[in-house]
Amino acid sequence: MSQKNKTLGEFIIENQTSFKYTSGELSRLINSIRLAAKVVNYEVNKAGLVDILGAAGDQNIQGENQQKLDVYANEKFIQTLTNRNIVCGIASEEEDDYISINSQDENNQNKYVVLMDPLDGSSNIDVNVSVGTIFSIYRRVTPVGTPVTIDDFLQKGNQQVAAGYVIYGTSTMLVYTTGDGVNGFTLNPAIGTFYLSHPDMQFPVDGQIYSVNEGNYIRFPQGIKDYIKYCQLEEGDRPYTSRYIGSLVSDFHRNMIKGGIYMYPESSKYPNGKLRLLYEANPMAYIAEQANGKASDGFNRIMDIQPTELHQRVPFICGSINMVEKAEEFMKNAK
**Hey, how many other C-beta atoms are within 10 angstroms of the C-beta on 324?**
22
Q: Is 3.40.190.80 the CATH classification of the domain at 209-334?
A: yes
Task: Please enumerate, by residue number, every residue annotated as part of a binding site for substrate.
Answer: 120-123, 213, 244, 274
Annotated binding site for Mg(2+): 93, 117, 119-120, 280
Segment 20-79, tens digit of pLDDT:
665 678 888 898 999 999 988 888 776 554 444 444 444 455 555 556 788 889 999 999
The whole-number pLDDT of residue 13 equals 84
What CATH number belongs to 3-198? 3.30.540.10
Three-state DSSP class for 158?
Answer: helix
- Percent of the chain residues past pLDDT 70, beyond the cut: 89
Binding residues: 93, 117, 119-123, 213, 244, 274, 280
Q: Residues 240-277: pLDDT tens digits?
A: 999 999 999 999 999 999 999 999 999 999 999 999 99
Distance between CA atoms of residues 300 and 46, nearest Å: 41
Q: How much is the pLDDT for 266? A: 97
Question: 189-226 pLDDT, tens per residue?
Answer: 899 999 999 999 999 999 999 999 999 999 999 999 99
Which letter, b or e, does each residue of 288-304 get, where b requires 16 or more Cβ atoms within 10 Å of its Cβ? bbbbbbbbbbbeeebbe
**Residue-range domain boundaries for the chain:** 3-198, 209-334
Q: How far is CA 169 from the centre of its chain?
A: 15
Question: Which of the four pLDDT bands, split at 50, 70 and 90, describes residue 83?
Answer: confident
Q: What is the spatial distance between Cα 180 and Cα 162, in angstroms, rounded to a whole number?
A: 10
Beta strands in the chain (DSSP E): 55-59, 65-67, 87-92, 99-100, 112-120, 131-139, 160-168, 172-177, 183-188, 193-198, 209-211, 241-242, 261-264, 275-276, 293-296, 313-314, 316-320
- pLDDT of 46 reads 67
CA distances from 181 to 99, 157, 288, 292 (A): 30, 16, 10, 9
What value does the mean pLDDT of the chain take?
A: 89
